[in-house]
Amino acid sequence: MRNGGQVLVESLVALGATKGFGVPGESYLAVLDALHDTQGALDFVLCRNEGGAAFMAAAWGKLTGSPGIAFVTRGPGVTNASIGVHTAMQDSVPMILFVGQVGTDMKGREAFQEIDYPAVFGTMAKWAVEIDRVERIPELLARAWVTATTGRPGPVVVALPEDMLTSLTDVPPLAGSARIAEPAPEAAAVAEALAMLKAAARPLILLGGANWTAAGRAALQAFAETSDIPAIAAFRYIDQFDNFSPCFVGEAGVGMLPHVKALIRDADVILAVNVRFGEMTTDGYTLLSVPVPKQKLIHVHGSDREIGKIYQPTLGIHAGPNAFAAALSPVTGGWGDWRAKARAGYGASFEAPAQPSPVDMVAVMAHLRAVLPADAILTNGAGNFTVWPNKFFAFGPKARLLAPQSGAMGYGLPAAVAAKVACPGHTVVCFAGDGDFQMNCQELGTAMQAGAQPIVLILNNGIYGTIRAHQERNYPGRVSGTTLENPDFTLLARAYGYHAERVTRTEDFPAAFARALASKTGAVLDLDISPEALTPRQTLSQMRAAALAAKEKA
């Protein structure tokens, strides 16, 4: 006989879970007790806030392709964790959030910390379920795992009533996970897609999603290169295609560069593989007309619910990205100049003027491109600072980017901790704004306790930069609610056992970063960034002056 907590934890081990991120709570004590016996097989990574734990689980799912696991308590615990669920959904990554619940005998009374999870998470998660009977744990857990990982991957929320977890049963735990093969494309559909591309004058590949295999990525790259077709990555998925390939031409995301907009707008055939057509990837749904684009659109996705959801494709193909890529064969056409011009535009995008700042991020990124190992993992949260890891770093086939499509501040540090837990031998660098860093800076403690300490670069300009930029463009000179007074981040980091330095000159960065790389306890480098250096190519003062001039003309 086992209690519900034991059945759950032993089933997770059989499914292949090795780490769970969480904050303890009395509502799931039986699970915590069962985790006592799985140390070394399924470890509990003790976090400082449920939001940080959920971010770590979402990042784990994005990095590994296996569901990130989080455990939180009911009420305040799960509402804190909801930000990670939203991020996992928008990122299309597998995640399972386990949350305690009031006993089944109290449901519906608004008992202490009671929440109706299926109602609250119905539009935020891929599925939300409450397990009321201990005997159904293996069945519903197996369904949660498959739901999280197949089709369009996403988060599942599983509620665990307290009395169900302590009930005894002779139902055995799961013995393993089901192997679900990717849906494969019809041969006739692939032939039609290739014929459309061959007849194009300006073909384009648009790719996204996190559920690529190494073989699938290699197959798509080989097709692009042998066919000489330019490839663009969807918002914050630039690591899914080798940026050093002559066919890679940029990212369709926030702050989209003019040459990328022109490529999408002017293409006559777009092969979109594994893409959820979000606002950022389409420049506010303007680059392709809704619902029928002027470009011929071939939309390939593992979920039939994504095909035609926003754009009606010329050809929709229900297939997994890896199976589809493996089925492709080269096509040829007269678009070599189109691809070469696009690649030149990408190369030119790394050029930017020296920044009006004590620490010049143009120079910093040039140094990082030179010294970071090929398998480095970069992470970031949200803010204007994300332009640097997202637009000024080239990701080779082994490098990874963990960044939220949801635009969630505070994601970068927990994601970096999760990356160090998953890949302890890799160099992990978190980019964080000073406001972004303070959303989850307490997770430095999680990193310290878990021995998973990344390098953190704080781009400290004393403002909420993205909002200040919008403010100056819309209400120039009327600063309100965007100026920060910050603590000494180096003292904070040292309190958590990190090597920490304040970098106030560009020329000091290489030596400081070398010391960060050599540190065995992780490192926090607090970079002195001027508010004027708000974007790579326009200063804060220039934004304000342009907005004032526009108002005078109006």
Whether the CB-CB separation of 350 and 388 falls below 8 Å is answered with no
Q: Is 423 within the bounds of a domain?
A: yes
User: Are residues 258 and 406 part of one domain?
Assistant: no
CATH number at residue 441: 3.40.50.970
Sign of CA dihedral 319, 322, 323, 326: positive
Q: What does the CA dihedral 109, 129, 210, 216 come to, rounded to 10 degrees?
A: 180
Cα 143 from Cα 139, distance rounded (Å) = 6
Which amino acid belongs to residue 505?
R
Which amino acid belongs to residue 94?
P
Q: Is 338 within the bounds of a domain?
A: yes
Last residue of a domain, one of 297, 320, 348: 348
| pLDDT tens string 351-368 | 999 999 999 999 999 999
3-class secondary structure for 92-132?
A: CCCEEEEEEECCCCCCCCCCCCCCCHHHHCCCCCCEEEECC
Q: Count of H helices and E strands in the chain?
A: 21, 20
Tokens read off for 452:
């998973």
User: Are residues 480 and 369 part of one domain?
Assistant: yes
User: Are residues 481 and 445 part of one domain?
Assistant: yes
Q: What is the pLDDT of residue 51?
A: 98
Structural domains in the chain (count): 3
Give me the residue label for tokens 């930000």: 83
Q: Is 353 within the bounds of a domain?
A: no
Cα 145 from Cα 263, distance rounded (Å) = 38
User: Are residues 155 and 197 part of one domain?
Assistant: no
User: Are residues 371 and 343 part of one domain?
Assistant: no
Count of beta carbons in the 10 Å neighbourhood of residue 486: 15
Last residue of a domain, one of 295, 316, 348: 348
Residues in the chain with pLDDT values less than 50: none
Q: What is the pLDDT of residue 303?
A: 97
523 beta partners:
455, 499
Q: What is the pLDDT of residue 292?
A: 97
Give me the residue label for tokens 């970071």: 372
User: Are residues 102 and 39 part of one domain?
Assistant: yes
Q: Is 175 within the bounds of a domain?
A: no
Give me the residue label for tokens 């615990």: 77
Cβ burial 48-59 (10 Å sphere, 16+ → b, else e): bbbbbbbbbbbb
Q: Is 108 within the bounds of a domain?
A: yes
User: Are residues 264 and 142 part of one domain?
Assistant: no
Cα 454 from Cα 301, distance rounded (Å) = 34
Sign of CA dihedral 96, 102, 108, 109: negative
Which amino acid belongs to residue 478?
R
Q: What is the pLDDT of residue 544?
A: 95
Q: What is the pLDDT of residue 202?
A: 98
Helix crossing, 137-149 with 4-15: angle to 10°?
A: 40
* pTM to 2 decimal places: 0.97
Of the candidates 67, 84, 90, 83, which has an alpha carbon nearest to the alpha carbon of residue 18? 67
Whether the CB-CB separation of 22 and 44 falls below 8 Å is answered with yes
157 beta partners:
97, 128
User: Are residues 417 and 341 part of one domain?
Assistant: no
User: Are residues 213 and 115 part of one domain?
Assistant: no
Whether the CB-CB separation of 69 and 28 falls below 8 Å is answered with no
Domain span including residue 382: 361-553
Q: What is the pLDDT of residue 114?
A: 81
Q: Is 179 within the bounds of a domain?
A: no
Q: H/E element holding 459? A: strand 455-460
